[in-house]
Amino acid sequence: MSVILSAQHVSKSFSVRQNEDVLALRDVNLDVYEHEFLCLLGASGCGKSTLLNMFAGFTPPSQGDILLRSSPITGIDPRCGMVFQSYALFPWQTVRKNVEFGPRMKGLPANECRSIAGRFIEMVGLRGFADHYPAELSGGMQQRVTLARSLAADPEVLLMDEPFAALDAMTRHVLQEELSRIQRESLKTVVLVTHNIDEALITSDRIVVMSPHPGQIRAVITNDLERPRNIDVQLSAAWGELKKEIWSLVAGDVSLHAS
Three-state SS for 100-169 is: HHHHHHCCCCHHHHHHHHHHHHHHCCCCCCCCCCHHHCCHHHHHHHHHHHHHHCCCCEEEEECCCCCCCH
Least confident range from 64-68, 82-86, 92-96, 208-212: namely 82-86
Evaluate if residue 130 carries a pLDDT over 60.
yes
Which structural domains are found in the chain, ordered by start?
3-79+156-258 (3.40.50.300), 90-154 (no CATH)
Separation between Cα atoms, residue 175 and residue 148, nearest integer Å = 13
**Helix (H) or strand (E) run with residue 219 in it:** strand 216-222
Evaluate if residue 258 carries a pLDDT over 90.
no
Type of residue numbered 189: T
What does pLDDT average to over the chain? 94
Please give the share of the chain, as a percent, with pLDDT higher than 70.
98
CA torsion 200→172→152→84, rounded to 10°? Answer: -80
**Taking the alpha carbons of 146, 101, 121, 78 in that order, is the dihedral positive or negative?**
negative
Separation between Cα atoms, residue 200 and residue 223, nearest integer Å = 9
**Taking the alpha carbons of 100, 106, 110, 111 in that order, is the dihedral positive or negative?**
negative
Separation between Cα atoms, residue 3 and residue 210, nearest integer Å = 20
Evaluate if residue 256 carries a pLDDT over 70.
no
Read off the pLDDT band of 20 (50, 70, 90).
Answer: confident
pTM: 0.93
Residue ranges with strand state E in 105-169: 157-161
pLDDT in the model for residue 1: 80
In the chain, helix, strand, coil percent, each to 5? 40, 25, 35
pLDDT in the model for residue 207: 99
How many CB atoms are located within 10 Å of the residue 59 CB? Answer: 13
pLDDT in the model for residue 166: 86
DSSP 215: B
Read off the pLDDT band of 237 (50, 70, 90).
Answer: very high
Type of residue numbered 114: R
pLDDT digits (tens, 9 = 90+) for 192-231: 999 999 999 999 999 999 999 899 999 999 999 999 999 9
pLDDT in the model for residue 15: 87
| CB of 83 closer than 8 Å to CB of 161 | yes
Evaluate if residue 159 carries a pLDDT over 80.
yes
| CB of 122 closer than 8 Å to CB of 148 | no
Instruction: Please give the average per-residue pLDDT across 112-128, as a whole number.
Output: 96
Evaluate if residue 31 carries a pLDDT over 80.
yes
